[in-house]
Every structure is written in C-alpha cells, then in structure tokens.
Amino acid sequence: MASTGEGLRDRRRRETRREIHTAALRLAQEHGYDKVTVDMISAQAGVSPRTFFNYFPSKEAAVLPGPTELPPALAAEFTAKGDAHPRDVLADVTRLLVRNLTENPPHRAETHAVFALTRSHPALLAGLLARFDGFQRSIAEAVAGRLGQRAEDEVPTLIAALALTAVRTGMERWVGEESSHEGEGGGEGGGEDSPVPYVERSAELLRTLLTP
C-alpha cells in the first residue's frame, strides 16, 4: 500500500519494482529458476537490463523481494514509546509487525510460489534466510533503541527473534493453507487472503506461552 504522501515518481518506482518482480517470478515458474536470465526478466517486464539493475542487484533478488528492514517511520514511532518491561516490548513489536503486514500486504499466490521455489533451489533459500536475518537485525535495532541497549545485546536479540518467529510461523501457515486447500474455496480461518489473522494467532500463542 502506498503511503499518503507518496508522490508520482515514488509510486512509479514502486510499480516498476513490482513489475520486475512479477516477471522474474513468472519466468522462474515457467522455465525453471536456473534457466532464467536478467535479459529475459527485463524483456518480460518491459524495461532495459540497466533499469533492472537500478532496482535489483541480481535475478535472485528480483525473485525474492520483501522487507529487509522496518520502515523508518514505524521504527521511530515504536522507539519513541520508551522503556518498558521486555514482555511488553515483545508484545508491542509483534503488533508493529502485524501493522506493517496490514499496510504492506503480500500476495498469497506469489508468496506460495516463492516458498515453493526455495524448496528446490538452495541459492534462493539462502537468499530468503539472509533477508529474514537482515529483517531480524532491523527489529533488534529498534528494540535496542527503545530499551537503551545495543542491538547485539541478549534481550533485543531474543525479542527480535521471537517476534520474527511468530511472523514466519503465521506466514508459513497462511501459505500452507493455500497449498493444502487449493481449489477447495478456503482453508483455516476461511482461507483469508491476508496473512494477518495467522500472524496474530501465532503472536497470541507466543504471548500465552510466555505469560506466567
């Protein structure tokens, strides 16, 4: 979802980035990831290879888009709330991640396709895990800023890992429902097109497990 203050140029860049990603993913599904080239992706997306590299450093990155850090505005808002008990900070950061998913919803079929590709291509799996690691570091930095600690300290690291685990678990269940109930008109929770209900369930279960 575009931000309220997004200008025409920013919107066009976002749309071009998505068009390149869609082309890369479609070609990887149709021809096999190993046979896809940057030239093929560029032609499919209607851009030059030079433009492709303005958006993505490689075909792997084009197939695996997604957040590598918290949006700065959300991170600043979270940090500004100030110090609190680590359990409350964990609850707040999971709510922040759910909000980010709500404002920037992934596409279910595309997410399912990406996960399927990573299962058969180790390089893509490594790239996806690297993205998760980068996103987790971003979360740890925001948590550390709120607690007055360093991102590499134990508490921010653990809070970030737990919050991201809740998100990943929910996302995997959401994508899994797409696969196991394909053509049946829906799965768990009515087959929601948004991962948010799944992530919220995982986050709530995490809070229940950690509540004394």
Share of the chain above pLDDT 70, in %: 90
Is residue 212 within 8 Å of residue 114, measured between CB atoms?
no
Q: Which residue has the higher pLDDT, 194 or 161?
A: 161
Say if residue 90's pLDDT is above 90. Answer: yes
Is residue 171 within 8 Å of residue 164, measured between CB atoms?
no
Q: In the 8-state DSSP scheme, what is residue 70?
A: -
Domains observed in the chain: 8-59 (1.10.10.60), 72-210 (1.10.357.10)
Is residue 170 within 8 Å of residue 201, measured between CB atoms?
yes
φ and ψ at residue 180, rounded to 5 degrees: -75, -20
Q: Please state the rounded mean pLDDT for residues 188-197.
A: 68
Is residue 198 within 8 Å of residue 192, measured between CB atoms?
yes
Is residue 92 within 8 Å of residue 78, measured between CB atoms?
yes
Q: Please state the rounded mean pLDDT for residues 32-44.
A: 96
For residue range 68-78, list pLDDT tens digits in order: 788 888 899 99
Say if residue 41's pLDDT is above 90. Answer: yes
Say if residue 185's pLDDT is above 50. Answer: no
Average pLDDT over the chain reads 87
